A and B are shown apart, each in its own frame.
Chain A
Amino acid sequence: MTLRNALVLGVCLAASILESTLPFLLHLKAVRADLLLSVVLYLALNDEVVQGAALSLAAGYLADLTSATPPCLYTVLAVLTFVVVRLAGSTIKTGGGLQSAAVAFAASLIHSSLAAVLFYFIAPGSEGLVLQFVPLFWSALGTAIAAPAVFSVLRRLDAALVPAEAATLVR
């Protein structure tokens, strides 16, 4: 495992801890940012396929671990999101903060809708399939607000590591 992968995993862990503690400390009900989804989006738009998919799987696993849902629900969704965004990657630009926020907003809405559909299948008779737009909207808004910060952290990390890894290769 390269240093970069280890650091991205560290960012995932930190995102998972922040996602779990900040809404609790700030008493947030609806506007909750999906930081791990932002990490997956960044990986889908900037990483190699194999490495990005594996790291997305790890991000999804961390979301699963703290969600008390049946195993691998969010793992499947994370890898699926990676694949979909990767396929659409050529048409998506995330150069600026607003662009990353817009991409995160749209991705969060789709991700939440997919989660609701999958929930319906695991809990027959539940209201998982009833897509309630208001909670999904607030959650997507929270994700859109946080996404530029997550992208910025990962960009800085990549910028700091590229010269170091290139130097290692030259040596």
Chain B
Amino acid sequence: MRSLLRRYREPIFVAFLLAVPFAIFAAKARKPMGHNPFDRLVLALTAPVEKAIVIAVSGLQDGWHGYVALRGVREENLRLRRELLAGHNEASALAEMKGENDRLKRLLEYADRNSPTRYLVAEVIAVGASPHSHVLRIARGTADGVNQGAAVVAPEGVVGQIAVATAHYADVQLIMSPISAIPAVSQRTRGRSTVKGVGDVTRCKLEYALRTDDLQDGDVLLTAGGPGFFPKGLPIGRAVNVAKRPTGMFTAADVIPAVNFSRLDEVLVVLGHLPPPSSVLNASTIGAPQ
């Protein structure tokens, strides 16, 4: 028996190395993700290095662009882009507020919807190592109040959700991940649907949009809200390739995300709602009125 084991030592060892991770994968595939102490230890070693590299290189890039090469132009460009972004957001928010206002007048549901949301600013320090992962790593963790499942947004729109968090770092699963799905509502028609990731950085898929809804190319999709989901009314993206089918219940469409995921330096983690009469602000949190 021993000689047999010695003879087939290599295949047995490789089979063992293949079987153990596969068993763990099969057992934990549908359970919430989490880190064990060893994972945390490795992350505690690697994440600060990633952060240091990003800070150092970004600092050099900023120094070069800001002070040596195109000082005035770059600053002006940044200012104009901020203004443009603010203008877009304002227009989108106004349109959304107008629709909401009309409905609220009818429904008299003022108080709940106006409770401010608490956001935590988080710096992006890395992306998922595998080219097929759809993850951003942020320099905020459970010590800052960031928990698994928390929504993550940017000024342009929805980014994703916290997949796993350690004390000082967290991984954000982006909305284009195949395991992401967000309840959505069309800004124009108010028709409900679900935006699902397909693993493509440039597009998501629209599901469960009723064929009877008048969805058209270019329609802006917003978060539908609800307990445990993203705050209501944040831009997700634009509907494109809307395919009206002659039969069936649903309309098929693609969604171009509102956020350019490859150009995110900072994001906002949604921590929760403040009590209604709120003006609670501290150094790192922003209370943004809805």
Choose from A27, A118, A128 the contact partner of B263 (Cβ within 8 Å): A27
Give the residues in chain A near B28, CB-CB below 8 Å: 70-72
Q: Are B130 and A116 in contact (CB under 8 A)?
A: no
Given contacts A27-B263, A71-B33, A79-B21, contact A66 B130 (CB under 8 A): yes
Assuming the A-B contacts A60-B21, A71-B25, A76-B18, are A21 and B126 also in contact, with contact meaning beta carbons closer than 8 angstroms in the complex? Answer: yes
Does A68 count as interface, using CB distance less than 8 angstroms?
Answer: yes
Do A17 and B17 have beta carbons less than 8 Å apart? no
Q: Number of contacts between A and B (CB, 8 Å)?
A: 177
Name the contact of B133 in the complex, choosing from A68, A116, A127 (C-beta under 8 A): A68
Contact of B129 among A50, A53, A66, A122 (CB under 8 A): A66
A49 to B9 CA separation, bound complex (whole angstroms): 10
- From B61, B130, B179, A34 is in contact (CB under 8 Å) with B130
The B41-59 residues at the A interface (CB cut-off 8 A) are: 42-43, 45-46, 49-50, 53-54, 57-58
- CB of B210, distance to nearest CB on chain A (Å): 19
- Are B178 and A126 interface neighbours, CB within 8 A? yes
Question: What 1/0 mask marks residues of chain A from 57 to 96 whose CB sits below 8 Å from any chain B CB?
Answer: 1001011011111111111100110110000000000000
Total number of A residues with any Cβ neighbor in B under 8 Å:
59
Q: Is the CB of A127 within 8 A of B10?
A: no
Is B200 an interface residue, CB under 8 A from the partner? yes
Count how many chain B residues have C-beta atoms less than 8 Å from C-beta atoms of the other chain.
Answer: 58
- Interface flag for B167 (CB, 8 Å): no
Partner of B18, one of A36, A79, A143: A79
Indicate the member of B14, B42, B49, B261 with the most A CB atoms within 10 Å.
B14
Q: Chain A residues near B17: list those with CB within 8 A.
A: 53-54, 56-57, 79
Q: Are A132 and B200 in contact (CB under 8 A)?
A: yes
Contact, CB under 8 Å: A76 / B131: no
Closest to B132 in A: A115
Q: Is the interface of A mostly helix, strand, loop or mixed?
A: helix
Q: Is the CB of A139 within 8 A of B133?
A: no
A28-B262, A29-B201, A72-B25 are contacts. A139–B131 as well, Cβ < 8 Å?
A: yes
* Shortest Cβ distance from residue A150 to the other chain B in the assembled complex, whole angstroms: 14
Chain A contacts of B53 at CB under 8 A?
17, 21, 25
Complex Cα spacing A1 to B124, Å: 35
A167 at interface by CB-CB < 8 Å: no
* Nearest CB in chain A to that of B53: its residue: A21
Interface of B is mostly: mixed
B30 within 8 A of A: yes
**Which residues of B (84-137) have their CB < 8 Å from a CB of A?**
124-133, 135-137
Closest Cβ–Cβ distance, residue A45 to chain B (whole Å): 15
From 7 to 34 in chain A, residues with beta carbon under 8 angstroms from any chain B beta carbon are 13, 16-17, 19-21, 23-25, 27-30, 32-34
Within B138-154, the residues touching A (CB, 8 Å) are none
Contact residue among A17, A57, A112 (Cβ-Cβ distance under 8 Å from B21): A57
Q: How far does the alpha carbon of A66 sit from the alpha carbon of B164 in the complex, in Å?
A: 10
B129–A36 touching, CB < 8 Å: yes
Q: Mark B147-177, 1 if CB is under 8 A from A, else 0.
A: 0000000000000000110000001110000
- 19 additional contacts, CB 8 Å, given A17-B46, A119-B179, A139-B131? A16-B46, A16-B129, A17-B50, A19-B130, A20-B126, A23-B127, A23-B262, A24-B54, A29-B262, A54-B17, A67-B129, A67-B132, A69-B33, A72-B21, A119-B178, A122-B25, A126-B196, A127-B178, A135-B201
In the complex, 20 of the A-B residue pairs with CB atoms within 8 angstroms, ordered by the A residue number, are: A17-B46, A20-B128, A25-B61, A27-B263, A63-B130, A65-B43, A65-B129, A67-B130, A68-B163, A69-B133, A70-B31, A72-B21, A75-B21, A76-B21, A76-B22, A115-B130, A116-B199, A122-B30, A127-B199, A132-B200
- Residues of A at the B interface (CB closer than 8 Å) are 13, 16-17, 19-21, 23-25, 27-30, 32-34, 36, 49-50, 53-54, 56-57, 60, 62-63, 65-76, 79-80, 82-83, 112, 115-116, 118-119, 121-123, 126-128, 130, 132, 135, 139, 142-143
